[in-house]
Structure 1
Amino acid sequence: MIKENRYGWLVSITGGVNGFLSSGPTFFASSVIFRAVENEFNWSRTLVSGVATFGRFGGSLFGPFEGWLIDKFGVGKMVFIGFFLAGLGLICFSLIQNAIQYYLSFFLISLGFSIGGFTPSITAVNNWVSNRKATAMSLVTIGSTLGALTAPILVWGISDIGWRYTILILGVIILVAGVPLARVLGKPAPKNSTSNVVDTTKVEISNSDFTPKEALKTRSFWALSLSHMLVNASLGALMAHIYFYLTDKNGPNLDPEIAGIILPIMAIFSMMFQFVGGILGDTFSKRFMASGFIAVQGLSILLLIMAETLTGVYIFAVVWGIGYGGRNPLIHAMRGEYFGRKHFATITGLSSLGVGISMMISPLLVGMFFDIQNSYEKSFYVLFMLCLVSSLVIIFSTKPIKKHDTTTRDNLSDLG
């Protein structure tokens, strides 16, 4: 039993490694790659950043189907297939000669990481760990966020050996890494494992598994999904444009090497506060904790707009890390505890449809407004407002009670 419990935490750490590889270079540090492509081909900002929209299009549409595949065929197979596709896409990306190849190869990368990245990792953690779910899931989100540490590595690689060889090497690493990740994450969780014993003294832990149809009928599903969609619009847009903004002449106008350090600072504070957020979520109300952290994430965007010096950018990076880091594990833990284990991947996939669409559209719109106005300011104000609305919406995502679930009702009654 003890070994099973320890394996649950090994799954959490492995999920973090998965997140580091699948979310790092091509998401959190993607704007570094986009800048290199823009410099070589001299394409418009809309065309260059629009690849993030096109790439996430497949992931958005595939999200609900992806969750069903995970529930049906298992985490391990999806991780292996996803990393194979992503690795192949990266190798193709290193060989691009025109915009069509640019978009198609990035689409393959995004589809692969969508299939084999975050969702199967968080599903494996949800299956193995229940008592400290928010803390365990924070390890996965921490790994994903630490992917931003690849930004200075990419800057160094691009300046030293060129962006094509840098991406080619990354593709080979992804192909090799898929095998051990799939093996660890794909191990089925024992049905009676002590790591899956639910602590019924906590109000927010579900005693029942909702079917996808049942989840769709709850206010909690829609409030949580809408809040996640709104706040992630800012995430998608900033990750596609942050390096552009920091190095633009009408922005902070930082040197490329200095700008490459900002993303790791964001990642380090995100890592710290994802762990803090996980602990707070296991102690206090996840809804109100998430609401507060989402508001802080919005505040950081306002600080970025006002930042005119390197010090101001540093302050933004720290506050962003606190807000994004704190809210990230809470949202996923709420979904797992609200709707149970059995159909978690499918329900997460359904919820990710709206999230993916917002992250798909926001980079394109921000890029279009930049090409028209030669400024990010108004777009960033919109992202700030979306975060504030998200912080209010998530408060309405209360724990649903499944019909005919007398056990849950009794537990809630006992807790007053």
Structure 2
Amino acid sequence: MTTFANTSAPASATGLLHNRWFQLLIGLICMMAISSPQYVWTLFTKPLSTKLGVPLSQLQITFSMLIVLQTFFAPFQGRLIERFGARRLISIGTLLSGLSWMLASQASSIGMLYLTYGLVGGLGTGIVYIGVVGQMVRWFPDRRGFAVGMVAAGYGMGAILTTFPIASALAGKGLESTLWQFGLVFALVGVIASQALRSPDPALKRAEPLHAQQTTGTDLAPRQMLRNPLFWLMFCMMTMMSTSGLMVTSQMASFSRDFGVASVLVFGLAALPLALTIDRLTNGLTRPFFGWISDRVGRENTMFFAFALEAVAMTLWLLTRENAVLFVLLSGVVFFGWGEIFSLFPSTLTDTFGTQHATANYGWLYISQGIGSILGGPMAALMHEKTGSWHPVFATAITLDIIAALLALLVLKPWRRRYLADTATIK
């Protein structure tokens, strides 16, 4: 295993805090500390609706604000991190994320909930997500896909540890106490962990990429990158994959009921909650898995396989829609073919446009996830409402997957190869 080792490195660059695997662990903890606001939100909808006296439609605006602010402010947050340092900004982000729950516990109106859970929470989680990803692509030039996938998995799967404790606390202690206590715990864990974050010393010897084509291009600042059409190809591809995945995954409860499988027992459990549990697991596992694969066989090759896998799984899902067992199993495959976008795209972006501005650059690419969240759910619901069928929804999602897979192999791969041949140096 190649490491960042250099016998002439200064003393300040040695020890546990400058071990990149320890930094990966710290980044993983920080991501887990901010995962619950998004992934446990559904547990709060009923008690919040009752407390505030508002319909679910108004309440869900809070969740939309959380996602939009997390993604659309990412370029600004990335710039702040690069200017003031990852440790300082990620500390603030984890504090804001936990504080959003503590403040939300005192909210007496829907407007206050928007400001606390939505605004404060969205800004806090966005800072941490962008900051941790930016750290990992610097620490692991040889294993970017795996490292980014690991911390992204921490965000995707971190709520598994908190879902049942939070559900139990809601039943036993009530809404306000649950939000306050867990918010305090998340803030403390995140702030304490983030104090151990360090950035790699540029003077240290860098590990060689595992795959011959995984070179690092010339460092470009965001304003330079945004003028490069290659960036916009990646942006469009990530938007397409985000939209296609969310078009289907956000509507699982609705179409499973329409297909008549939601309450059918599979392995002794109702199909829908069982599928959702498996999906959360596979959505986390796919990120380091395909990231690890991409480190060895190339980013675009991995994209083609993963995106095509989702298209095939969605097709089979639709064709066998009345089979509850296959509904559960294929839902896991669909999520396994979708969640890897959060490891493959940031790694590919940094391979192409360098590490110096990696955090701010990824902030711009991350906006595509926000666009996908806006388009995916509402577009799918509108298509179903207008046509009375789920077939157009699935057909659109499958088409987007296939187009993205072909673009990865036939356009992105040769284009990046030509670009790196002119500008890249292995670092």
Instruction: Tell me if TM exceeds 0.5.
Output: yes
Asked whether the equivalents of residues 49 and 363 of structure 1 are also in contact (C-alpha less than 8 Å), the reply is no
Which amino acid in the other structure matches residue 17 of structure 1? I
Code of the aligned partner of 2:330: F
Q: Distance in 1 between matches of 2:255 and 2:400?
A: 22
Q: 1:326 to 1:403 in 2, by over 3 A?
A: closer
- For residues 236 and 26 of structure 1, the distance between their equivalents in structure 2, rounded to whole angstroms, comes to 18
Deviations 1:34-78 (A, max 9, x none): 355456667555434333322233233312111111111111111
- Give the alignment's TM-score, normalised by structure 1: 0.82
When normalised by structure 2's length, the TM-score is 0.80
The 8 Å contact of residues 313 and 334 in structure 2, kept in 1 or not, is answered as yes
Residue 175 to residue 272, structure 1, CA distance change in 2 (3 Å): closer
Partner in structure 1 of residue 304 of structure 2: 291
Alpha-carbon distance between aligned partners in 2 of 1:374 and 1:169, rounded to the nearest angstrom: 44
Q: Which amino acid aligns with 1:268?
A: L
Stretch of structure 1 that moved more, 63-72 or 202-211: 202-211
Amino acid at match of 2:188: V
What amino acid maps onto 2:234 in structure 1?
L
Pick closer, same or farther for the CA change 1:222–1:295 going to 2, 3 Å: same
Counterparts of 2:46 and 2:394, CA distance in 1 = 19
1:61 — aligned with what? Answer: 72
Structure 1 residue 241, shift from structure 2 partner:
5.4
CA shift for structure 1 position 292: 2.1
- What is residue 130 of structure 2 aligned with on the other side? 119
The answer as to 2:40 corresponding to 1:21 is no
Paired with 1:341 and 1:221, the residues of 2 have a C-alpha distance of 15
Deviations 1:91-117 (A, max 9, x none): 22233343323322222211110112x
Q: How many Å apart are 1:201 and its aligned residue? A: 6.7
Identical counterparts, % of pairs: 17
Query: What does residue range 293-372 of structure 1 map to in structure 2 within 5 Å?
Result: 293-301=306-314, 307-308=321-322, 310-366=324-380
Q: Aligned partners of 1:7 and 1:163: how far apart in 2?
A: 41
Deviation at 1:192, TM superposition (A): 2.4
**CA displacement, residues 203-244 of structure 1 (integer Å, 9 cap, x when unaligned):** 2321521222332233321111111112223455667655x5
Q: More helix per residue: 1 or 2?
A: 1
Provide the secondary structure at the position in 2 that maps to 1:214: helix
Counterpart in the other structure of 2:44: 33
For structure 2, the residue ranges without an aligned partner over 5 or more in a row are 6-13
Instruction: Mark the runs of 5 or more structure 1 residues left unpaired by the alignment.
Output: 412-416
| Of 134, 140, 159, the match for 2:151 | 140
- 1:285 deviates by 2.3
1:184 to 172, 175, 196: 196
Number of residue pairs aligned between Structure 1 and Structure 2: 404
Aligned to 1:228: 238
- 8 Å Cα contact 2:104/2:179 also seen in 1: yes
1:95 is aligned to: 106
Distance in 2 between residues matched to 1:71 and 1:362, nearest whole Å: 31
Give the Cα separation in 2 of the matches to 1:406 and 1:382: 37
Post-superposition Cα deviations, 1:347-390, rounded to whole Å, max 9, x if no partner, equal 11111223323224434555667888998775555444433333
What amino acid does structure 2 have at the position aligned with 1:349? G
Cα deviation for residue 182 of structure 1 reads: 1.9
Contact in 2 for aligned 1:27/1:239 (Cα 8 Å): no
CA 1:357/1:269 → structure 2, altered by over 3 Å: closer, same or farther? closer
Query: Aligned ranges for residues 211-226 of structure 1 at < 5 Å?
Result: 211-226=221-236
Q: 1:117-139 CA distances to partner (integer Å, 9 max, x unpaired)?
A: x2101111112121222122221
Q: How far 1:245 sits from its partner (Å)?
A: 3.8
**Are the equivalent residues in 2 in contact too, given 1:286–1:334 (CA < 8 A)?**
yes
1:68-83 alignment, distance < 5 Å: 68-83=79-94
| Kept after mapping to 2: 8 A contact 1:64/1:349 | yes
Higher Cα radius of gyration: 2
